[in-house]
Structure 1
Amino acid sequence: MTPTTPTHAAVRPRILVARAVFPDVLERLRAVFDVEANQEDQILAPAELAHRLADKQGVLTTASERIDAALLAACPQLRIVANMAVGFNNFDVDAMGAAGVQGTNTPDVLTETTADFGFALLMATARRLTEAEHYLRAGQWKQWRYDQFAGAEVHGSRLGIIGMGRIGQGIARRAAHGFGMDVVYHNRSRLAPDLEAACKARYVGKEELLRTADHVLLVLPYTPASHHAIGAAELALMKPTATLVNIARGGIVDDAALAVALREQRIAAAGLDVFEGEPRVHPDLLALSNVVLTPHIASATVPTRRAMATLAADNLIAFFDGRGPLTPVNTPAPRKYD
């Protein structure tokens, strides 16, 4: 007798959890799926990821796992990739769509936490907090001096935000309403008038923003079009007293060009939570004192990271329940054998 393909009701879908998550979230998934978990929490090399996914129908990923055409070709059973991140530049969305693979992300649940961090990184950068702390810890503080670690003003200054989605809007509200900052922004499309009013933000061209802002904060998504959106030419437009903060994605800033601008004091300081090729950090940045460096932690509070993991799990469960994903990022082509 020829065996038939089991229905979804007859067998539990097999999924991979590619990185460590909260134990209770993992147990919730195990109640529904046959789960293989990467308990060592090492970033899986592409070949190892493909090997582990070869017999899986779903996977919970972070931004560290690249889902591209080569991996999809090696994993014909894969039906859904649930990213535990709002960004999904680790997805080849076109290849996933062509292969009939659903992608999801975790928007909204991290908006306010990430906006908090963006403003915290702006403050730390402008007021030279890490530079001053290192000075103190090294035992170099002997006396007060009028210009000791004198930084840039924040309240009443001009903040330029590039990328005015939910997180950018959250930062704008904090800046305008809490610190009386003059907020300008640049985006692919202009906000509706009511949103501009709520943020007290004014739309300007990118060049005007770079030339006039005291602080430039990046919150735009990474795409091929935004690769090195801030490079040597853009940095040359900024004031020598200005700061640059990136909480978006590595690759939006040309880190090598930024290191040169910081070293030559063509801009005053930078704050970076994301990097090209992370977790590797450009060595020239590590050698500089006028840059605040953090390891991609903008969403790192326990409640927010838990909400992200829960939403990724919810997407997997809803998809295999037949309800459809809660937060899809693509519309995959129909699969002939589903």
Structure 2
Amino acid sequence: MTKLLITRNLPEEVLKAAKAVADVTVREDQSPMSVQEAAEMLQAYDVILPTLGDQFSAAAFGVAPNPRCKMLANFGVGYNHINVSAAQKAGVSVSNTPGAVTDATADIAMSLILMSCRRLGEGERMVRASAWDGWHPTQLLGMHIGGKTLGIIGMGRIGKAIARRAAAGFGMNVIFYNRSTVDAPEHGTQMPEISQVLGASDVVVLAVPATPQTHRLMNAERFAQMQSHAHLINIARGDVVDEAALVDALQSGQIAGAGLDVYEREPIVSEALLQMENVALLPHLGTAALEVRVDMGLMAVRNVAAHINGTALPNPVLP
């Protein structure tokens, strides 16, 4: 029977489905796999179901150039922890779980927009610290998002879901940048340059995949293109933002605030960000709903089953 390694504990329904198609081992350590461990597991299992942070890098495949493992069924839509080109050269196919994460991640984006613009984190901290002395007309005044312009960088599934929520639910004017042309977008107007989106937006949401092209996409130059009252929201991947440049932009007043669900050195969060009141910080909660995690897991298992049965993967990832 196919030996399957699941690198992090998953909901029971997912484990049950996996055990129906393979001989399953669930890794006890819940921290991300190192390059060395990833290389060792490539030699020990037929299929691996990895997730965020597990280092299936070019270095791992360098240690294990002819691995026993022939498939990585990634748990998650993002796969920047897997070098897909190196995997393909080693004869290892890769899949992911798109679609299952869309709405939950879009919900977190809207949550962070409200948290940052309406200063909700500051307000909760004030109450918890017993520092609230009652309602005042000018207390914690934030930015009302109705009628404001939302700029979305990356109009894939998640970007479109954010646009729907922002336009239909909150009356925001949506503009966006996408590398390719989006045909007849339901909500929003496509702009030809990122700088145009940044310069015209009251709130900017990053919804791009983590690729070499998007690494530190938001840097000092980009922050200088934003308006001083604008807020940056990142629900993509941490390394899409140059975190040091973000800290500088916030401390200098270049931008007004930020809402982050992901971090450049995750799980390490910059001490400067931790000390700022104008930053809303979440612990990578984008897909953290039981139903969503079950859907993601079952999608990954369907990819595993297809590989075992020798049929086309439902969700292949190509270099």
Match among 48, 70, 82 for residue 73 of structure 2: 82
Give the letter aligned to residue 14 of structure 1: K
CA distance in 1, matches of 2:168, 2:192: 20
**Is the contact between residue 103 and residue 329 of structure 1 (CA under 8 Å) also seen in structure 2?**
yes
State the Cα distance separating 1:80 from its structure 2 match: 0.3
**Is the contact between residue 207 and residue 234 of structure 2 (CA under 8 Å) also seen in structure 1?**
yes
- Asked if 1:38 corresponds to 2:27, the answer is yes
Give the letter aligned to residue 57 of structure 2: D
- Asked if 1:104 corresponds to 2:95, the answer is yes
- Asked if 1:157 corresponds to 2:155, the answer is no
| Aligned twin of 1:239 | 227
**Is the contact between residue 172 and residue 201 of structure 1 (CA under 8 Å) also seen in structure 2?**
no
| Aligned twin of 1:209 | 197
- Asked if 1:53 corresponds to 2:38, the answer is no
| Aligned twin of 1:8 | none
- Secondary structure, counterpart of 1:145 in structure 2: coil
CA deviations over 1:178-197 (Å, ceiling 9, x no partner): 2111110001012102xx2x
Gaps of 5+ in 1: 1-11, 332-338
State the Cα distance separating 1:30 from its structure 2 match: 2.2
**Is the contact between residue 213 and residue 238 of structure 1 (CA under 8 Å) also seen in structure 2?**
yes
- Secondary structure, counterpart of 1:317 in structure 2: helix
State the Cα distance separating 1:272 from its structure 2 match: 0.3
CA distance in 1, matches of 2:40, 2:172: 51
| Aligned twin of 1:273 | 261
CA distance in 2, matches of 1:291, 1:190: 32
CA distance in 2, matches of 1:182, 1:108: 25
Match among 248, 255, 258 for residue 246 of structure 2: 258
**Is the contact between residue 262 and residue 269 of structure 1 (CA under 8 Å) also seen in structure 2?**
yes
| Aligned twin of 2:315 | 327
| Aligned twin of 2:180 | 189
CA distance in 2, matches of 1:102, 1:49: 15
**Could you say if the C-alpha distance between residues 220 and 266 of structure 1 is closer, same or farther in structure 2, counting changes exceeding 3 Å?**
same
**Is the contact between residue 35 and residue 57 of structure 2 (CA under 8 Å) also seen in structure 1?**
no
CA distance in 2, matches of 1:66, 1:42: 11
Largest Rg, 1 or 2:
1
TM-score w.r.t. the length of structure 1 is: 0.90
CA distance in 1, matches of 2:161, 2:122: 27
- Secondary structure, counterpart of 2:199 in structure 1: helix
State the Cα distance separating 1:204 from its structure 2 match: 4.3
| Aligned twin of 1:287 | 275
CA distance in 1, matches of 2:157, 2:145: 22
**Is the contact between residue 125 and residue 291 of structure 1 (CA under 8 Å) also seen in structure 2?**
yes
State the Cα distance separating 1:42 from its structure 2 match: 2.9
Give the letter aligned to residue 277 of structure 1: R
State the Cα distance separating 1:292 from its structure 2 match: 0.4
**Is the contact between residue 248 and residue 274 of structure 1 (CA under 8 Å) also seen in structure 2?**
yes
**Is the contact between residue 299 and residue 305 of structure 1 (CA under 8 Å) also seen in structure 2?**
yes
How high is the sequence identity, in percent, across the aligned residues? 39
Gaps of 5+ in 2: none
- Secondary structure, counterpart of 1:245 in structure 2: strand
Match among 128, 131, 134 for residue 137 of structure 1: 128
**Is the contact between residue 158 and residue 215 of structure 1 (CA under 8 Å) also seen in structure 2?**
yes
**Could you say if the C-alpha distance between residues 227 and 42 of structure 1 is closer, same or farther in structure 2, counting changes exceeding 3 Å?**
closer
